[in-house]
A and B are shown apart, each in its own frame.
Chain A
Amino acid sequence: MATRAEAGRIRLATAGRLDRARSRPGLLFGVGLAALVVTLVLGVGFGTVAIAPGDTLAILAHRLLGLDLGSHWSVATETIVFELRLPRVLSAMVVGVGLSVAGATFQGLLRNPLADPYVLGTASGAALGAAIGILIPIRIALFEFGIVQVFAFAGALLAVGVVYRLSRTSSLAPLTGLLLTGYAVGSLLAAGLALTMYVSGSNLRQIFFFLLGGFDGSSWLQLAGTAPLILGGSLLIMLRAGALNGFLLGEETASNLGVDVRRERVILLGLGSLVTAAAVSVAGLVGFVGLVVPHLVRLVVGPNARRVLPLSAVLGASLMVAADLVARMLGEIPVGVVTAVIGAPFFLILLRQTRSAYEL
């Protein structure tokens, strides 16, 4: 049995390693990118037809970079890799980036470690919007991006706006207020969603599959429509990392540190909602990624958004591909089930550890 002194030494040693990691964010980012490539190759290689990592890399190098690595593969293999699995893996990556960056943004802006697109009702809002969008019999679609996505965005923005407003005026502690408001608004949105599905008639199946989520319907066309929104939105958020840092000690202090609080709040909430809505429109409801990933990153590099946002993006992308891989290995179960099984216990642990606020 480890003595208390040993446990202390182990803790110190871990802290030492974390210290070194914290001072080398570039290295961490490199490790994250390497993990991304590994999960990409694994994600593309795994499936009912197994494709060797060497072949996967060779096909990707050939198709994307025009390099000939000298190995040979069948046309069928190339089709599987390029038309089926690659768009799926890339979709998972893009969604992972979006949910993680949106989660880090909401947590920083609302100064709440438990905020994420799902807890806040943003994703439910997007889902309700999308369901209503599916019911509307007008299809103006460009790259499979049309009225459904626009409604999803409107729903996300409305939900986060309402939750934010209501929780600010509540007399509860900020953390409790936000969680309870998110729960209440989320429940209302869920009821709206149930009603929408009830009246949807022949569209029920379409809504149901949309909500169930997952990446098995991914295509290059869908990716072309949503990837620019998610990646562009995430990049715009990263460019505002300085303002996000200002919110660490509250809005009043942010203001005194030179942040235009009203403007940045609107921009960051808007971008976070846009990214969430686009992610929901690709993957349906996939919870907890936006909660877990920024936390893990913050544990290692501290609260600076200039590091937290890009590292959350690469880690979120890898984790999402890994979760999708697990979902496929378990016989195509919805990927949201996998992330919930990992994420829900994490959320509960976090809730136990978080004091309502740290007085500085």
Chain B
Amino acid sequence: MIEFEGVWAAYRARDVLVDINLRIDPGERVAIIGPNGAGKSSLLRAMNGTLRPRVGTVRLGGDALARLDRQAIARRLSVVPQAPALPFAARVEEVVGLGRLPHEDPFRGQRAADRAAVSAAIERVGIGALAGRDVRELSLGERQLVLIAMALAQAAPVTVLDEPTVHLDLRHQVETMALLVDLNERDGTTVVAVLHDLGLAGHFFPRLILIDKGAVVADGPPDDVLADERIQLVYGVDPAFVRRSVPLAAV
């Protein structure tokens, strides 16, 4: 469970989160949407404790984030990063294995249970055929799956993703979304994703949180959040552009 209580956060003098109050229950699947610079990524960073609130409290599984150390947070919440750069050649299983860092023995490293979790994560995401390959040789879609597998290996009840579909073509976007839905519905993982594509968000997520200028503007089911007036107001575009993909939500 993730709870925000009156959270304000700032980068230097600029407020990026303005009085955020929200609650995400275990097993939910939530998309965070909003224009560029609205504070979507800041909301994620406040969730994983890398952005400290100026005022207010963020709770993760009932405990205030400020009271948990990084390892304790990493065991409760995993993050699928946005296309990080890799300084050295590394194999798929080596990158996925990083997900075991909060669990492995600090001196002896990975044990049998850790290796089993890595194999299981690789199988779960369906990239078994890629094991042993250098991740730099993989396509963008495959690399996205490697990062999701890394987060899975972390075995945390909550997984958050920062724009997981941003570099992907339509087929890989849909496949990634389907995988997130499957992880959420079959494994009960709480999934929170920042998404740019309102069509994907409306189709695959039962709850959307719309952020603008650091504040929550709307929070609820897609039909409600993606209402015409609201899109017009927040994005400043003709809602007809959005509606074209939204009917998916009704399917």
Contacts and interface: CB of A to CB of B under 8 A. Distances in A.
B95 interface: yes
B5 to A, nearest CB: 22
Interface stretch (B8-16, B78-86, B213-221, B232-240): B78-86
Contacts of B79: 253, 256
Interface string A219-242: 000000000000000000001011
Contacts of A245: 98, 101
Given A256-B50, A257-B102, A360-B143, A302 B75 contact: no
A255 B83 contact: no
Interface string B96-129: 0111011010110100000000000000000000
B81 A250 contact: yes
B88 A303 contact: yes
Contact of B98 (A113, A248, A359): A248
B91 A360 contact: no
B89 A257 contact: no
A66 to B, nearest CB: 33
Interface string A252-269: 110111111100000000
A347 to B, nearest CB: 16
A306 B136 CA distance: 22
A258 B71 contact: yes
Given A256-B74, A258-B75, A303 B89 contact: yes
B62 interface: no
B94 A302 contact: yes
A111 B85 CA distance: 9
Given A242-B101, A248-B86, A250-B85, A258 B74 contact: yes
Interface in B194-246: none
A357 interface: yes
B136 A358 contact: yes
B87 A306 contact: no
A133 interface: no
Contacts of B88: 107, 113, 248, 298, 303
B101 A112 contact: no
Contacts of B107: 239
Contact of A357 (B70, B87, B95): B87
Contact of B85 (A242, A306, A357): A357
A259 B106 CA distance: 11
Contacts of B77: 256
Contacts of B97: 304
Contacts, number: 107
Contact of A360 (B69, B84, B99): B84
Contacts of A358: 85-87, 136
A329 interface: no
B135 A257 contact: no
A255 B81 CA distance: 11
Contacts of B109: 241-242, 304, 306
B48 interface: yes
A335 B24 CA distance: 63
Candidate in B77, B81, B101, B146 with the most chain A CB atoms within 10 angstroms? B101
Contact of A242 (B49, B94, B104, B147): B104
Given A248-B90, A358-B86, A358-B136, A257 B98 contact: yes
Nearest to B132: A19
Contacts of A248: 86-88, 90, 95, 98
A9 B250 CA distance: 55
A253 to B, nearest CB: 5
Interface string A155-181: 000000000000000000010000000
A2 to B, nearest CB: 23
Contacts of B50: 252, 255-256
A10 interface: no
Nearest to B151: A256
Contacts of A257: 74, 98-99, 101-102, 154
B73 interface: yes
A64 B219 CA distance: 75
Contacts of A249: 81, 84, 86, 95, 98
A112 B94 contact: no
B101 A360 contact: no
A200 to B, nearest CB: 40
A359 B83 CA distance: 6
Given A255-B70, A360-B146, A303 B94 contact: yes
Contacts of B104: 242
A120 to B, nearest CB: 15
7 closest Cβ pairs, A-B complex: A258-B74, A357-B85, A258-B102, A258-B71, A256-B79, A111-B87, A358-B86
10 contacts: A112-B87, A174-B85, A246-B101, A249-B81, A249-B86, A250-B81, A256-B81, A257-B154, A302-B89, A304-B109
